[in-house]
């Protein structure tokens, strides 16, 4: 009577009531994610429907892309921080290492623009990027073995800044070109290899020469059909890839969490000495968690920034990126994988992209000239002028709002906005004693 299929725990085990509850919970998790997305889509449609279907679908595409990449990164961070209590605020650095390594490995040795690369196939580049991020993660784990959480925070932040400054440095660029024959491009960054998803739709990625699939899709949805621009449609194709990776991340991390390894991670978060005294090699587990999490961050960096055409160290990989991911994890409730996914989606739509769009929409409604500075707006004593200034400068206000949200959550809802979701750390259902235990209860 063992639970044979771990992916669907207890699917046909005797305790069918439990199985039903679990199945329902799983469904509701999935439903929660889909429901959140639908609500976001509805808001997006409301915001942009006056501009036509193309704009609506385009905005949805942007929001979905951001939601997925934040969810991916939040999942990786949740493994380290949420499960194991390792306060790594160098996320941006590990993402940068992943995507830069990928670019350097894959780029042509003799490119038309930018630094040379090694010219190896894309999968090699992706694995190399993950490997390099994992390696650096392993090194970053060394301080985690001895330092308090707040020191670790500073060390990882410092490391991520060292990475960014190194990528920024032209001296480092020439050094790499001289030694391994591939450069970083310094402050100008580098162009990313062609996205294979684009090649699915377009022959050699050339606009105007669609493949059979491209013909089909463009015919139905594109300029010949519903009138949606082709880059947006290709973007949706890439979103399908991201969604597949997200499912992969989620399953991997759920399995990791629901296992004896997951119990050890939780125990380390709760009390290292106890875990150690119970025969758990705490240091080894910490290193493993850092390596796995950083490899996933590297992969998330590749999937995210590798698809953006060009990467440059600043401002893309500023520590602010790390804080975004942290906010996503905190919103969802640290320690919960489903929470991380939801947190990523909600953060991207509501806190990251939403305010800019709303600001733009509001500005469109105001018929006033934007004053040159806040002081000018203030002395005008005209609320409309002030509003125009605010709408045009929505970016800083958005950050202020982010800060307020962060403080609010820490004050009022430290377990996350989406509720305290306790995940079981075992490969089997613990909610009820199985039929085998016939003793009184």
Partner 1 sequence: MGTTDSSIVDAARARPGLLFAVLLGGLLLVDLAAKLGGVGLGPIGGSVSVDRLGSNLWNGVVIGLVIGLAGIGLSMTYSILSFANFSHGDLVSAGAFTGWGVAFLIAGFGDVPVRALLTVRDAGSASPGDVGAHILSTPGAILVGLVAAFVVTSLLAVALDRAFYKPMRDRDGISLLIASIGAALIVRYLLQFGYGSDRRGVTASVEQSNLAFGPLGVSVNAHELTILVAAVGLMVAMHAMLQHTKLGTAMRAMADNKDLALITGIPAERVVTATWIIGGGLAGASGYLYVLLRGTIQFDFGWLLLLLIFAAVILGGIGSVYGAIVGGLVIGVVFTTSTIWIPSDFNQAAAFAVMILMLLLRPEGLFGGVSTA
Partner 2 sequence: MSSDAPDPNDPADVADGSDVADGVDASAPTADEPEENDGEVEESAKHTPSGSPPLRVEGLVKRFGGVTAVDGASFEVESGSLTGLIGPNGAGKSTTFNCITGVHEPTAGTVSFQGEDVTGLKPYQIARKGLVRTFQIARELSEMTVLENLMLAPQGQLGESAVRAVTPGLRGAVVEEETALRERAWETLEFFEIDHLAHEHAGNLSGGQRKLLEMARVLMTDPEMVLLDEPLAGVNPTLEEKLLDRIHDLRADGYTFLLVEHDMDVIMNNCERVIVMHQGSVLAEGTGDEIRNDERVIEAYLGEDL
Residues forming contacts to partner 1 in the complex (CB under 8 A) are 87, 142-143, 146-151, 153-155, 157-159, 161-162, 165-166, 168-172, 323, 326, 330, 373-376, 378-379, 393, 395-400, 402-407, 410-411, 414
Q: For Cα atoms 67, 71, 73, give the angle at the middle one, nearest 5 degrees.
A: 125
Indicate which of partner 1, partner 2, none lies near residue 292 (CB less than 5 to 8 Å, by partner kind): partner 2
> Residue 379 binds which one of partner 2, partner 1, none, with CB within 5 to 8 A depending on kind?
partner 1
Nearer to partner 2, 315 or 436 (CB): 436
Q: Which does 2 bind (CB under 5 to 8 A by kind): partner 2, partner 1, none?
A: partner 2
Compute φ and ψ for 191, nearest 5 degrees: -80, 150
Q: How far apart are the first and last CA of the chain?
A: 21
Shortest CB 301 distance to partner 1, Å: 20
Cβ proximity to partner 2: between 182 and 267 the closer is 267
- Compute the least distance from the CB of residue 98 to partner 1, in Å: 19
Q: Which is nearer to partner 1, 188 or 255 (CB)?
A: 188
> Closest approach of Cβ 384 to partner 2, in Å?
52
Minimum Å gap between C-beta 161 and partner 1 is 6
Among partner 2, partner 1, none, partner that 123 touches (CB below 5 to 8 angstroms by kind): none
Contact partner, 440, from partner 1, partner 2, none, Cβ < 5-8 Å per class: partner 2
Cα-based angle 377, 353, 51 (whole degrees, multiple of 5)? 85
Q: Which residues pair with 205 in a beta bridge?
A: none
User: Where along the sequence are the contacts to partner 2 (CB under 8 A)?
Assistant: 1-4, 6-7, 9, 252, 255-256, 259-264, 266-267, 269-271, 273-282, 288, 292, 422, 424-428, 430-431, 433-434, 436-441
Q: How far is the CB of 415 from partner 1 (least distance, A)?
A: 12
Residue 287 CB partners (closer than 8 Å, separation 6+): 138, 141, 145
Rounded to whole angstroms, the Cα distance separating 417 from 310 reads 35
245 binds, among partner 1, partner 2, none (CB under 5 to 8 A by kind): none
154 binds, among partner 2, partner 1, none (CB under 5 to 8 A by kind): partner 1
Backbone dihedral angles phi then psi of residue 154, each to the nearest 5 degrees: -70, -40
Query: Residue 191 is inside which H or E element, if any?
Result: strand 190-191
**Tokens 């520590």 appear where?**
319
Residue 254 tokens read as: 């759920």
Tokens of 328: 């996503």
Q: At its nearest, how many Å lie between partner 2 and the CB of residue 153?
A: 21
Q: Record the tokens describing residue 234, joined without a space.
A: 């290709």
Whose Cβ is closer to partner 2: residue 17's or residue 395's? Answer: 17
CA atoms within 13 A on the CB side of 204: 3
Nearest to 165 by CA among 181, 185, 187: 187
Closer residue to partner 2 in complex, CB, 72/425: 425
Q: Which residues are registered as beta bridge partners of 229?
A: none
Whats the size of the chain, residue-wise?
A: 441
């Amino acid at each position: 009577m063992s639970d044979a299929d771990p992916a669907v725990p207890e699917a046909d085990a005797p305790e069918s009531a439990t199985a039903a509850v679990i199945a329902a919970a799983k469904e509701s998790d999935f439903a929660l994610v889909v429901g959140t997305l639908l609500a976001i889509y509805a808001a997006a449609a409301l915001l942009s429907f006056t501009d036509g279907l193309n704009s609506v679908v385009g905005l949805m595409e942007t929001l979905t892309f951001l939601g997925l990449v934040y969810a991916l990164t939040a999942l990786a961070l949740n493994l380290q921080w949420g499960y194991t209590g390792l306060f790594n605020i160098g996320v941006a650095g590990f993402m940068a290492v992943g995507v830069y390594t990928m670019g350097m490995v894959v780029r042509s040795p003799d490119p038309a623009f930018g630094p040379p690369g090694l010219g190896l196939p894309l999968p090699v580049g992706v694995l190399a990027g993950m490997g390099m991020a994992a390696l650096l993660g392993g090194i970053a784990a060394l301080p985690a073995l001895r330092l308090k959480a707040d020191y670790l925070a500073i060390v990882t932040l410092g490391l991520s800044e060292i990475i960014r400054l190194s990528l920024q440095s032209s001296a480092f660029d020439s050094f790499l070109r001289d030694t391994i024959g591939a450069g970083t491009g310094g402050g100008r960054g580098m162009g990313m290899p062609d996205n294979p998803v684009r090649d699915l739709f377009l022959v050699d990625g050339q606009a105007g020469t669609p493949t059979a699939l491209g013909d089909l899709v463009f015919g139905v949805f594109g300029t010949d059909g519903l009138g949606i621009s082709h880059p947006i449609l290709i973007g949706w194709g890439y979103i399908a890839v991201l969604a597949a990776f997200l499912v992969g991340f989620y399953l991997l991390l759920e399995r990791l969490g629901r296992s004896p390894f997951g119990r050890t991670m939780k125990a380390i978060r709760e009390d290292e000495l106890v875990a150690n005294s119970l025969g758990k090699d705490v240091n080894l587990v910490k290193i493993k968690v850092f390596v796995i999490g950083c490899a996933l961050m590297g992969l998330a960096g590749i999937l995210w920034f590798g698809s953006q055409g060009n990467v440059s160290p600043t401002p893309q990989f500023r520590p602010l990126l790390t804080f975004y991911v942290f906010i996503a994890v905190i919103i969802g409730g640290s320690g919960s994988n489903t929470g991380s996914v939801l947190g990523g989606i909600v953060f991207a739509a509501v806190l990251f992209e939403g305010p800019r769009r709303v600001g733009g929409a509001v500005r469109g409604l105001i018929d006033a000239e934007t004053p040159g500075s806040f002081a000018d707006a203030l002395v005008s004593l005209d609320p409309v002028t002030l509003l125009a200034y605010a709408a045009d400068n929505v970016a800083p206000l958005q950050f202020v709002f982010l800060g307020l949200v962060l403080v609010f959550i820490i004050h009022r809802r430290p377990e996350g906005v989406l509720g305290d979701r306790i995940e079981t750390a075992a490969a089997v259902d613990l909610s009820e004693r199985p039929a085998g235990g016939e003793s009184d209860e």
